């Protein structure tokens, strides 16, 4: 059962993810993280690349991006390494943005979105080769 805090948090992120990117926000993202992936945090592309290396991501590997928001860095990692990515979060607004980006990037066969939180994720043990949760508020 969701607490009042949970509901307030969902409302906050629904509002935040509902704001479309603009030319200015894309330029800022390019300057700050090094790319235009709809980032909703501060993980840089260099850090995401280091994460890919540490997790040995590549074709045939499965990544869970927990608290994925709009899909950063999960979508980037799927595109840059060839891995399969499951993007999991609770706010639907962020997942909708991530799903649209996956479609535009041609990643629908390797990146899927799932509405799920970290408290009791609906995945079996060992389903993933790596898990990331960047810039997640816990």
Work out the average pLDDT over 16-39: 78
Reported as a single tens digit per residue, the pLDDT across 79-107 is 999 999 999 998 899 999 999 999 999 99
Q: Quick one: pLDDT at residue 138? A: 54
If we measure between CA atoms, which residue out of 105, 86, 91 comes closest to residue 36? 105
Range of 79's domain?
4-132
Instruction: Tell me if 33 is assigned to some domain.
Output: yes
Give the CATH number for residue 13.
3.40.50.150
pLDDT of 41 over the 80 cut: no
Q: Quick one: pLDDT at residue 2? A: 65
Work out the average pLDDT over 112-120: 90
- Beta strand 111-115 with 84-89 is parallel
Q: Quick one: pLDDT at residue 13? A: 74
105 by Cβ neighbours in 10 Å (0-12 / 13-18 / 19+) ranks as middle
Strand order in the sheet with 130-132: 111-115, 84-89, 62-66, 130-132
């Amino acid at each position: 059962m969701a607490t009042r805090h949970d509901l307030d948090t969902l409302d906050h992120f629904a509002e935040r993810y509902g704001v479309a990117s603009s030319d200015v926000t894309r330029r800022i993202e390019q300057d700050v993280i090094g790319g235009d992936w709809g980032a909703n945090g501060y993980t840089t592309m260099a850090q995401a690349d280091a994460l890919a290396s540490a997790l040995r991501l590549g074709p045939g590997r499965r990544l869970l991006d927990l608290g994925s928001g709009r899909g950063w860095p999960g979508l980037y990692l799927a595109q840059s390494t060839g891995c399969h990515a499951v993007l999991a979060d609770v706010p639907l607004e962020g997942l909708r943005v991530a799903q649209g980006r996956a479609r535009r990037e041609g990643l629908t066969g390797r990146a899927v979105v799932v509405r799920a939180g970290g408290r009791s994720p609906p995945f079996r043990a060992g389903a993933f080769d790596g898990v990331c949760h960047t810039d997640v508020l816990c």
